[in-house]
Every structure is written in C-alpha cells, then in structure tokens.
Amino acid sequence: MFGEKACDLIKELSRAEDNLPAYNTDLVTEVGNEIKVLIEKNQEDAQISEDSRASDGLSYISTVKIRHAAVKRNFRCLLAYHYNRLKCIRTMRWEFGSILPADIKVNMSATESEWFTKYSRLMTQYMRSVGEEGVNLWVDLKPPKALYIEVRCLVDYGKFELNDGSVIFLKKHSRHYLPRSECEELIRQGVFYHIN
C-alpha cells in the first residue's frame, strides 16, 4: 500500500514525544525510493495514456492521480519528519547550550549535526553583534524571581571564577549562593542543581 512507510516514520517520531529518536536512514531512504518509483510509473502511464488516447481511448489518468496523491503524501510525511526533528534539536540547543550530551548526538544524522553547528554559530554571531558587549540570550531563559539562587554541586568541578574575579572551589555536594546569571549555564550542563 502506498505511504505505509512514510506513515511509519511519523508514528516513530510521535512515540518519542520530547526525546530525539535515532535518525531512521533506512526508512527515509525507502520512502524516497517509493517516491521515485511512483513518479516513474506515473510518467510511463501518462505517456501510454497520451499515445493510446488517439487510437483506442484507454486512459490511465485516474491511476496517475492516485499515485500522484501518494507521492504528495510521502513528501509531506518526509517534510514533517525532518521539520519536527530540527525543531526538537533547536529546542535542545536552547536547553543544553552548544554542547549536546553524547546520547543525543548519537541519534542525530550527519546533516542534522552540521545544521546544529551552523545554528549555534549564527546565534553566537548575532549575540556578539547586539550592543557594545553583546548579549547572552542563553541566560535567563525564564524570568528570574531572584538575582541570587542557592545551588548544589553535583560533580567535582574544580575552580570556578565568577564575573567579579572571585574564585570558588566546586566540590561534589557543596552548596553555594551565587548570581543566577553565572549559574544557568552550569545548571543546564548538569554541574549544578537549583535548590528551591
């Protein structure tokens, strides 16, 4: 049946919800091949229909229309699959920063990794171009309730220098009361845990 593999792609993506499933190269290739075959059959039937119209009145137009609808559906499914994956990757860029966890990188195709790198580079260029000192859009993704927050260190991180020049030593299970702007990146990386 036409479009079953394309539908399987969408189902696979919807099952993953907020996670990024592994890129299914095989299924994407199969859908692309199905599109190619359908287009070739349509071209053949359209030619036969054109040739036979003058002689015996046979027409394959209805078959061509059905196949064309299947081709359009497959294209829409492929576009939806890739759009939703890129949307998920863009969201992860805002959550994790420019360094993605290894388990997420493994699930990305080479093209998606390249897109992620270019997206990060463009965002960095834009942030540097705004104002005299630039602006960091990755800080304060949610409006802060307080300028200072209490955090607990989840790993032995070592020395960490604050913007005012003071250096603190981050040991596992140590608690600190620090400016929110300096903690957000480390919270996203999993070094700190925000204590409410």
pLDDT at 38 over 90: yes
- Hey, what CATH class is 4-129 in? mainly alpha
Question: Rounded to whole angstroms, how far apart are CA atoms 173 and 176?
Answer: 10
Question: Rounded to whole angstroms, how far apart are CA atoms 170 and 191?
Answer: 9
DSSP H helical ranges for 108-196? 110-129, 180-189
* pLDDT category of residue 15 using cuts at 50, 70 and 90: confident
Q: Give 55: exposed, middle or buried? Use CB within 10 Å, 0-12, 13-18, 19+.
A: exposed
The whole-model pTM stands at: 0.69
For residue range 124-182, what is the model confidence (pLDDT) as tens digits?
898 888 877 777 776 666 776 778 899 999 999 889 988 888 899 999 999 999 988 88
For residue range 84-137, what is the model confidence (pLDDT) as tens digits?
999 999 988 888 888 888 888 999 999 999 999 999 999 889 888 887 777 777
User: What angle separates helix 4-16 from helix 61-96, to the nearest 10 degrees?
Assistant: 20
User: Is the pLDDT higher at 30 or at 163?
Assistant: 30
